Chains A and B, each alone.
Chain A
Amino acid sequence: MTYMDKSLEEIHEALISGKVTSDELVQESLKKCHEVQNDINAFVTILDDAKGGEVTKNLLSGIPYGIKDNYSTKGILSTGSSNTLKDYVPFFDATAVANLYKVGAIPVAKTVLDEFGMGGTGTTGHTGSVLNPWDHTRMTAGSSAGSAASVAAGVYPYALGSDSGDSIRKPAAYCGIVGYKPTYGMISRYGLFAYASSLDHCGVLSRSVADAAIVVDAMKGIDKNDMTTWDSKDIHLRQSLTGDVHGKKLFYIKELCDIANYPHANAELKSHLANFQATIQKCRDLGMEVVEESFDNDLLKALPSVYVVIACAEATSNMSNLTGFIFGPRGEGENYIEMMKDHRTKGFSPLIKRRFIIGSYVLQSENQERYFKNAQRVRRLIVDKMNDFFKKYDGLIMPVGSGPAKKFGHHDNLLSADTQALEEHLQIGNFGGYPSITIPNGFIDSLPVGVNITGRCYDDANVLNMAYALEQAMPYKNQIAKEVK
């Protein structure tokens, strides 16, 4: 009998009834970590010394979980998947982690990410690429690559992720699981290694909407260490999942979902968009109204560049603390400048260096108006447009990406240019700080694909309930990855 492939409520029930102990769960999870590590390379650290804990009324007590390695964990190596912090053991816990300790949750692994959350491939961590558990020749996407892969592989019921562009919600789709990023400020970012502060969100990867709700109920809360947090004590996500969505209104973006807009469309994209329409039909069957809406095409085209400019600018500043003087390996050199250069030259991957240069360039006083300030303005326009839609609609429903997970060594082609906005529209959720959740909605060529619902700020309960209802209408809840190729 195994438990780590079950839902939180089922595992809790087994613990309460004495069918299994917390210690046994931890051992099962650790064993599974080691089993899958060779295949999918999801972990920076497996916490072999982890012990079971007290089981209380809380649904998370005594149950193992994974933590993305950009969360600060007291006494546990926290690398951000970067050589600049390869030996860094923090002396304080991120607030979200501390909150989970409070309810008795038990961390068993720190998971691989794209270095400091920058990147969407799962291939840039200092411990190597994360492999998709459904197909080892494919990527998981990122940056919460190890968390997505390990939850999909059935190592534990959930893992923490972070999301600055789509870093929870895209790997979730490619791994056939649920990825939820709540409203900005619902979960404290204190202790989350900063990538792009105005876009960074904490969140969770799980195998069901209910599990995601239970975990975020425990992670969230106002924090005196993070001024951007807000009081959500009257929001009870798990309790809000009624499945009643009658009369809810969703919209989707015509320009991105109409196959006629993709002259180079391949079979994958065609199936993906057709599958999306089938999902929409399910929503309608549930009593929701779903309407096609037109979004300004110029704004859609601008999405990727707005994201790159803002994210890189904030990143280059946020990561200026990585000098090797106070933490991280001390660089070599005759003076502090040489030492710092040595540390950063050796420590960062080429992708990050490229982003730092972009960030630095767009912030230079002679460029700032043209790039950074304009990016902020366009961000505002996109958010205003979304907020207008949210006056009419409870949420935006969209397909995630242009199909299933990409192969390693995948190269951009003609189609990529057409599908860029389709690949990156989840960034809208970060621009506006909106609650946003991805759930699996089918398979293409035996590989999972996902659908996303994004709603109004502070309206997390509503967004999750719509996702919950849709999840009930489809057979993908709690699915575990089966290697298909």
Chain B
Amino acid sequence: MSKYNVAIGLEMHCEISETNSKVFSRAQNAYTDETNVFVAPLDMAFPGTLPVLNKECVRLSLMMSEILNCRIPEYLAFERKNYYYPDLPKGYQITQNTKPIPIGMDGYIDIEREDGSTFRVGIDNIHLEEDSASMTHLYDTSEINYNRSGVPLLELVTTPCLHSADDAVTFLEYMRAIYQYCKISEADSKKGQVRCDVNVSISENDTLGTKVEMKNVNSFSGVREAINYEISRQSELKDAGRYAEVEQETRRFDEETGTTKRMRSKVDAIDYKYFVEPNIPKYRITEDLLAEIRKSIPELPYERKSKYMEKYGLSANDARILIKDIHTADYFEECLNLGIDAKVAANWINGNILGYVYKNEQDIADIYLTPSRLKVITEAVKSGKISSKQAKELFALTLERQEEPENIMKNEGMNQISDASSLQAIIVGILDENTSQIEQYKNGKTNMFDYFVGQVMKSTRGQANPVIVKEILTSELNKR
């Protein structure tokens, strides 16, 4: 923790991945490893081409604007941000920078921390724009891939209202969840769909210090590192009485080293010469349209969280984990639809299933153990057919073999022994062979009880019902 007041502002760029076509051209809006296949003439700025606005992008942007409690402009308009770079074929980006053009302005959203406390994030604006092409820099040449050129992008700009890297990441994670819940974006950092710019300043009082911006931080862990690095860099300079060396500048975050390096100072800032895009006529945003959009906002993560806690009695922690990713929440709700007990489902998901998903870097929506297969396992436990220990084994085998859990139970002879008379015979046999251990038990070494349980499990290959085993074992030991 810095002893100074830290002010953090974020710019979160999120590609809209769920429209059929790009924001101003008819090229397909999709992600592929093949280069230069989703390209329309506009995406390479061939002479005479014109932008045609994708209405679905507008609808989704307005939805975000509503969710973020933003002021919405009377007219929809765009402007040009002019600069030269090979990934920008037109020589300008069509965007919405200058108020009152952004599709959402001066909003806020309340965010919950893990400990249940909340904080409010001010939204300066959210705006719709187009992505640039992507570039690969080789030894002496660079390659340009125009698939990304013109992909719709939502840029969300917060006020400098955040005070820690943890809060910044909590906010970003929640925003990512919203994008997913609203079917706006997969918001997948690995596909480059989410990219952040971060600005950090420190101060001894309530005024803001010198703002340092870090560009293109491509993962949330990177955001955390970049913020923490920058706080300590600035704090150290201030401690040393060298705060004047902190310049208003743009720095690049280096993922390899977790440090930031200077790109350019404020003096070299680019003048983007913004002006209104003349090829897109102003379009009036009606109250009817907004009402329709408000109606179409799906259940948002925190709404699901309250529902899980209030209706299904889950703990705040369980509910918080479940809603983090829409596929997890959907998986959970599918379990409920199939009649799996909410707490049982939550335990399975938040324990074994997410553990497996993270370890194997898979999406919960894609794993072999679907909610209906999970139900086979939970039903078997519920009916006493298998023990919970067997259930864990069955879970692992189902995923490992990609085989129906019923078959595995059958083939592996998984059957819990709950029959008291057969268990009694086994227990008596074991006790008869372990007289010295009984002696130790009687002399006060009470943990020998677990040893006997272990022996029973071993001889039944884990099939013995542990509750019944413990009952019989207690009474048999008392008899001796």
B384 within 8 A of A: no
- What's the nearest-Cβ distance from chain A to residue B124, in Å? 19
Contact of B48 among A72, A317, A360 (CB under 8 A): A72
Contact of A85 among B44, B47, B142 (CB under 8 A): B47
A363 within 8 A of B: yes
User: Could you tell me if A363 and B90 are in contact, using CB atoms closer than 8 angstroms?
Assistant: no
Interface string of B73-104 (1 = CB under 8 A from A): 00000001010101001111000000000000
Interface string of A62-106 (1 = CB under 8 A from B): 000000000110000010100001001011101000000000000
B410 within 8 A of A: no
- What's the nearest-Cβ distance from chain A to residue B158, in Å? 23
User: Could you tell me if A189 and B273 are in contact, using CB atoms closer than 8 angstroms?
Assistant: no
Residue of B nearest to A339 (CB): B86
A224 within 8 A of B: yes
Interchain CA distance A336-B135 in the complex, whole Å: 13
Residues in B neighbouring A468, C-beta threshold 8 A = none
Q: How many chain A residues touch B (Cβ–Cβ < 8 Å)?
A: 44
User: Could you tell me if A224 and B52 are in contact, using CB atoms closer than 8 angstroms?
Assistant: yes
User: Could you tell me if B46 and A90 are in contact, using CB atoms closer than 8 angstroms?
Assistant: yes
User: Could you tell me if B84 and A190 are in contact, using CB atoms closer than 8 angstroms?
Assistant: no
Contact of A320 among B41, B50, B82, B275 (CB under 8 A): B82
Residue of B nearest to A194 (CB): B48
A260 within 8 A of B: no
Interface string of B29-47 (1 = CB under 8 A from A): 0000000000001001111
User: Could you tell me if A363 and B86 are in contact, using CB atoms closer than 8 angstroms?
Assistant: no
- Which of A225-233, A280-288, A457-465, A472-480 sits within the interface? A225-233
User: Could you tell me if B52 and A225 are in contact, using CB atoms closer than 8 angstroms?
Assistant: yes
Which chain A residues in 243-257 approach chain B with CB under 8 Å? none
Residues in B neighbouring A396, C-beta threshold 8 A = none
User: Could you tell me if B50 and A365 are in contact, using CB atoms closer than 8 angstroms?
Assistant: no
B413 within 8 A of A: no
Which chain A residues in 391-445 approach chain B with CB under 8 Å? none
Which chain B residues in 270-323 approach chain A with CB under 8 Å? 271, 273, 275, 278-281
Residues in B neighbouring A226, C-beta threshold 8 A = 50, 52, 279
Interchain CA distance A336-B49 in the complex, whole Å: 24
Contact of A80 among B45, B47, B49 (CB under 8 A): B47
B53 within 8 A of A: yes
A364 within 8 A of B: yes
Residues in B neighbouring A194, C-beta threshold 8 A = 47-48
Residue of A nearest to B85 (CB): A336
Residue of A nearest to B142 (CB): A336
Interchain CA distance A249-B275 in the complex, whole Å: 38
CB < 8 Å A-B pair total: 96
Point out which of A192, A317, A336 has the most chain B C-beta atoms below 10 A from its C-beta: A317
Known: A190-B49, A326-B44. A314 touches B278 (CB 8 A): yes
B51 within 8 A of A: yes
Known: A88-B47, A326-B44, A360-B273. A227 touches B52 (CB 8 A): yes
Residue of B nearest to A196 (CB): B278
Q: How many chain B residues touch A (Cβ–Cβ < 8 Å)?
A: 27
User: Could you tell me if B89 and A363 are in contact, using CB atoms closer than 8 angstroms?
Assistant: no
Known: A225-B50, A364-B271. A321 touches B278 (CB 8 A): no
User: Could you tell me if B53 and A227 are in contact, using CB atoms closer than 8 angstroms?
Assistant: yes
Residues in B neighbouring A322, C-beta threshold 8 A = 47
Contact of A317 among B41, B80, B86, B281 (CB under 8 A): B80
A45 within 8 A of B: no
A197 within 8 A of B: yes
Known: A227-B279, A360-B273. A321 touches B91 (CB 8 A): yes
User: Could you tell me if B278 and A197 are in contact, using CB atoms closer than 8 angstroms?
Assistant: yes
User: Could you tell me if A227 and B280 are in contact, using CB atoms closer than 8 angstroms?
Assistant: yes
Which chain A residues in 19-36 approach chain B with CB under 8 Å? none
A127 within 8 A of B: no
Residues in B neighbouring A224, C-beta threshold 8 A = 52
Known: A90-B46, A372-B275. A317 touches B82 (CB 8 A): yes
- What's the nearest-Cβ distance from chain A to residue B452, in Å? 78
A313 within 8 A of B: yes
Interchain CA distance A79-B90 in the complex, whole Å: 18
User: Could you tell me if A190 and B45 are in contact, using CB atoms closer than 8 angstroms?
Assistant: no
Residues in A neighbouring B273, C-beta threshold 8 A = 317, 360, 363-365, 368
User: Could you tell me if B47 and A327 are in contact, using CB atoms closer than 8 angstroms?
Assistant: yes
User: Could you tell me if A317 and B275 are in contact, using CB atoms closer than 8 angstroms?
Assistant: yes
- What's the nearest-Cβ distance from chain B to residue A18, in Å? 39
Contact of B91 among A313, A317, A363 (CB under 8 A): A317
- What's the nearest-Cβ distance from chain A to residue B280, in Å? 6
Interchain CA distance A91-B44 in the complex, whole Å: 13
Known: A92-B41, A326-B45, A364-B271. A320 touches B84 (CB 8 A): yes
- What's the nearest-Cβ distance from chain B to residue A222, in Å? 12
Known: A313-B275, A365-B273. A321 touches B45 (CB 8 A): yes
User: Could you tell me if B47 and A320 are in contact, using CB atoms closer than 8 angstroms?
Assistant: no
- What's the nearest-Cβ distance from chain B to residue A84, in Å? 10
Known: A194-B48, A198-B278, A228-B281. A320 touches B271 (CB 8 A): no
Contact of A90 among B47, B53, B84, B280 (CB under 8 A): B47
Known: A198-B278, A317-B80, A363-B82. A227 touches B51 (CB 8 A): yes
Contact of A336 among B53, B86, B92, B271 (CB under 8 A): B86
Interchain CA distance A425-B280 in the complex, whole Å: 27
User: Could you tell me if B84 and A323 are in contact, using CB atoms closer than 8 angstroms?
Assistant: yes
Residue of B nearest to A340 (CB): B84
Residue of A nearest to B144 (CB): A325
- What's the nearest-Cβ distance from chain A to residue B80, in Å? 6
Residues in B neighbouring A88, C-beta threshold 8 A = 47
Contact of B46 among A314, A319, A327 (CB under 8 A): A327
Residues in A neighbouring B91, C-beta threshold 8 A = 317, 319-321, 323
A193 within 8 A of B: yes
- What's the nearest-Cβ distance from chain B to residue A259, in Å? 38
Point out which of B48, B86, B279 has the most chain A C-beta atoms below 10 A from its C-beta: B48
- What's the nearest-Cβ distance from chain A to residue B413, in Å? 66
Contact of A227 among B46, B89, B275, B281 (CB under 8 A): B281
Interface string of B133-152 (1 = CB under 8 A from A): 00000000010000000000
A191 within 8 A of B: yes
Residues in B neighbouring A94, C-beta threshold 8 A = 48
Residues in A neighbouring B92, C-beta threshold 8 A = 317, 320
Interchain CA distance A322-B91 in the complex, whole Å: 8
12 A-B pairs (CB sep. < 8 Å): A78-B47, A197-B278, A225-B50, A225-B52, A227-B53, A317-B80, A317-B92, A319-B91, A336-B86, A336-B142, A363-B273, A364-B273
A interface list, Cβ under 8 A from B:
71-72, 78, 80, 85, 88, 90-92, 94, 189-194, 197-198, 224-228, 313-314, 316-317, 319-323, 325-327, 336-337, 340, 360, 363-365, 368, 372
* In the complex, the 4 A-B pairs of residues with the closest C-beta atoms, listed nearest first: A320-B91, A321-B45, A363-B273, A198-B278
| Other A-B pairs beyond A72-B47, A91-B41, A227-B53, 4, CB < 8 Å | A90-B48, A197-B278, A317-B80, A363-B273
B interface list, Cβ under 8 A from A:
41, 44-53, 80, 82, 84, 86, 89-92, 142, 271, 273, 275, 278-281
